[in-house]
Amino acid sequence: MTPQDEIDALEWANPENWNGWLGSYRSRRDSRTWVPKRDARPGWTLNFAHSGAWWSLLGLSTVPLAFVLLFLLLRFAR
C-alpha cells in the first residue's frame, strides 16, 4: 500500500468528510475522484473536492438531457 493509498483510506474513514444528510463526500487530500459509498449499499460517489467530479457530474447530466432534447426535436419536427 502506497502512502497516498493510506491517506485516501484515512480520509474516506473520517466522518467529517461526509455530509450526513446528502451522503456526499469532500476531501482535498483524497486523490480519487470516484470513491466507494460510505454505507453498505454498493456503488460509488463523487469526491466534490476535485474538479474532475464536477466534469463527471456535467457529463452525466448532459447525456440524458441531450437524448430528451433529441426526442422532443424529432417528435415535434413532424
Q: Can you tell me the mean pLDDT for 53-70?
A: 93
Query: What is the value of pTM for the model shown?
Result: 0.73
Tens digits of residue pLDDT in 34-60? 999 988 778 899 999 999 999 999 999
Helix, coil or strand: residue 6: helix
Please report where in the chains the cell 469532500 appears, as a residue: 26
Instruction: Give the pLDDT band (50/70/90) at residue 14.
Output: very high
Among 33, 42, 31, which residue's Cα sits nearest to residue 9?
31
